[in-house]
Amino acid sequence: MVFNESKIHIFNAYIKLNIMDAGIQAKIDQWLNGNYDQQTKATIKELAEKNPTELTDSFYRNLEFGTGGLRGIMGVGSNRMNKYTVGMATQGFSNYLKATYPGKEIKVAIAHDSRNNSRFFAETTANVFAANDIKVYLFEALRPTPELSFTIRHFGCQGGVVCTASHNPKEYNGYKAYWNDGGQLVPPHDKNVITEVDKISSVDEVKWSGGEANITLIGKEIDDLYTEMVKGLSVYPDVIARQKDLKIVYTPIHGTGIMLVPKVLETFGFTNVHVVEEQSKPDGNFPTVNYPNPEEADAMAYGLKLAKQLDADILLGTDPDADRVGIGVKDDSGNWVLMNGNQTAVLAFNYMIEARKAKGLAAPNDMVVKTIVTTELIDEIARQNDINCYNVLTGFKWIAELIKEKEGKENYVVGGEESYGLMIGSQIRDKDAVSAVALLCEMAAYEKDKGRSLYQKLIDLYVEYGFYKEHLISITKKGMDGQQQIAAMMEGYRNNPPKTINGSPVVMLLDYELQKGKNPQTGEEWTIDLPKSNVLQFVLEDDSKISARPSGTEPKIKFYFSVNTTLADAKSFDKESAALDARIKGIIADMKL
């Protein structure tokens, strides 16, 4: 009777808003009458009476298990991160693992970040895997995502999961799925796992408990092994020995970086490290920031304040799961500048190429990897140093997949993308801000040993290889119709591409969804040899490049702008920078973004 009364309340709420939908109602009925806990059912009833719009958003679809796993707002409902959506995803993943490795012992590793409910989701995941007779290595407490990748490879696991929503706001959590190489799922496994997850139609199909003996807690022993691995990436330990008092400011932004970054810097030999106290404690509410993302200046504000007070040499910040890193350095006037992801990647790629060559470590088959929306300055640096530079789709899983493809033939050195991600060395297969922090500090020490800063080094690279400047615009479209709006924008550009942008003819239209490239001026067409992805790129006659890509993890569409020119000398930097800014503004205005 209680359930029937609740249905009446829900029905009336939808009628009032004229958004009643039979499919949504059916899902709500299933949760109210199924084997869900009483608190969940009580919350559904409360939403029906007080916030029917929120209830609609919670049930209008199933939270999609995408090619990287789950990510969404926490709460009750089929479109939310909760015990049930996590459990059903894990049951589907378990089914696929058992079908792929019949009769074999299957092992997985599980980690989590500092977000609210991350430990609960990790334990839920571990219990479901274990109940399916899968051996589980579960970290005893929060750990950085890259350590999870390392652990999968160390134990020879067939898969893994980290519970994190990376840099999303505090309301979000997520579930990233990994394969046996330590990289996130790629074809065919990504689609096959999705198929198995989609088959789980009821929480009654989930094995929730009964295999606790299959769970092993891990911690310090893996920390030590991982730290030693990172230490082995150092190219110039002798430079660090001379510059060990490099003044470093680091903020984990309330995340997992605090677990390993200070320890790794100490192991490298740095003795003058200052952690931002206000952001040192792991906290899923992220009390000092609105958005725990080192890409955001606000998230780095506390670090900047301390860096200025101490007159530091370098500032570094990592996101909650410590796979992204942002840095700040001083310009020639002593003003602090926050580097963007492209600039940081340029410095890292160049250092690994230049320093390895100077140290006699470079090999003829060295290769580097970047994504298609990351600065082409990296391509130019690699080209002039006779190193293969491969471009892959956005996401480190594609970098990991290319390493696997080239293993034994080419030597992977470094990979990265514009969204503040770097992966140095091939012993893990996901972006790693812990090793990136250590190597960026080594780079700062390397330049300081020569009497200059990382900022000056970047300008020198612009003079030597060309001045490339990038800009990003993210447009958020939330709610039920947000995805439809984003899809409509992409279809508009795909079906009616611009012939000119900012007065410059479009000479290349690259459609990664159709896997086709075309020169609109000549009619020439060619095939793009990459997996399908909903990305469009416009290359202009003046060598400007515009990329449009819906985010795979957030309700956003992203527009990437890249322009370039020559830089005669460091003194011309400000003038040429202003000219490039003007060109980017002209492109944005012409595209009406």
Active site residues: 166
Identify which of 478, 550, 486 has the alpha carbon closest to the alpha carbon of residue 512: 550
The beta strands (E) that lie in 393-503 are given as: 411-417, 421-424, 467-476, 500-501
DSSP 8-class letter at 327: E
- In whole angstroms, how far apart are CA 563 and each of 19, 106, 159? 46, 49, 40
Report the C-alpha gap between 312 and 246 in whole angstroms. Answer: 8
Distance CA 460, CA 514 (A): 39
- Tell me the two tokens of residue 261: 């970054």
Q: What is the DSSP letter of 292?
A: -
Give the strands of the sheet with 172-179, arranged side by side. 69-73, 172-179, 159-163, 107-112, 135-139, 215-218
Identify residue 118 by its one-letter amino acid code. S
Task: Report the candidate in 172, 146, 154, 161 with the shortest Cα–Cα distance to residue 71.
Answer: 172
Crossing angle between the packed helical segments 261-268 and 220-231, to the nearest 10 degrees? 40
Element (H, E) at 173: strand 172-179
Other C-beta atoms lying within 10 Å of the C-beta of residue 377:
26
Measure the CA–CA gap between 126 and 18, rounded to whole angstroms: 42
Contact 72, 66 (CB under 8 A): no
- C-alpha 564, offset from chain centre: 26
The answer, yes or no, to whether the previous bond of 188 is cis (omega within 30 of 0) is yes
* The pair of three-digit structure tokens given for residue 446, joined into one six-digit string: 């390397």
Q: Which helix (H) or strand (E) holds 573?
A: helix 573-590
State the virtual CA torsion across 32, 38, 44, 46 in degrees, nearest 10: 130
